[in-house]
Amino acid sequence: MASELRVNTLKDAAGNNSIATSFVANGSAKAWHHYNQSGTLATVDSFNVSSAADGGVGITRTVYTNALANVGYAVSGSHNLPSGNTASWVSGYDNSADFTTGQVTCSTFNAGSGRVDATKAMMSIHGDLA
C-alpha cells in the first residue's frame, strides 16, 4: 500500500518557513509544455500533457492528461523565432472552444508577420485540478 501523509501545514525542522499544504497544491504548475512547431510538431518536454496537435502555422493545441476543475486557470507562455531574435509572444487562440478544462490552444506570434512556427515554444498553466 502506498504511504500517505495527511497534514495541513509544513514547516522546516526549526519550526520556521511555514506553508500551508493548500499553497503546495494551489501553487504548483498543473502542466507545462515545451514544443517545436517547425515541420512536424514535436513535444520536447512536458508535464501532465497527453498529446499536442498542430492547428496550422503558429497554432498548437495542448491536451492535458488530468483535467482542470474549471476554465478559470491561468496560461502563460514564451517562444523564440526560427530565425533572428525579433519580437515574439504567445497568446490565446481565437475562441473559447479552444480553452477548456482538458486543453488549450496557444498562438505564437511574430510582431511583423502574424503567426509563426517556433522551434522553442513554451507554456505553463496554474489553477485547480478537477
User: How far is the C-alpha of 88 from the C-alpha of 80, rounded, in Å?
Assistant: 7
By CB under 8 A, the residues from 3 to 62 that bind another protein are: 3, 5-15, 21, 24-30, 32-34, 38, 44-45, 47-48
- Residue 2 near another protein by CB under 8 A: yes
Across-strand partners of 45?
Answer: 34
By CB under 8 A, the residues from 56 to 115 that bind another protein are: 66-67, 69, 76-90, 111-112
Q: Rounded to the nearest whole angstrom, what is the least distance from the CB of residue 75 to another protein in the complex? A: 10
User: How far is the C-alpha of 33 from the C-alpha of 77, rounded, in Å?
Assistant: 9
Collapsing DSSP states into helix, strand and coil, what is residue 38?
A: coil
Q: Rounded to the nearest whole angstrom, what is the least distance from the CB of residue 62 to another protein in the complex? A: 12
**Amino acid type, 64:** Y
Task: Compute the C-alpha angle 47/52/57, nearest 5°.
Answer: 130
Residues that bind another protein (CB under 8 A): 2-3, 5-15, 21, 24-30, 32-34, 38, 44-45, 47-48, 66-67, 69, 76-90, 111-112, 118-124, 128-130
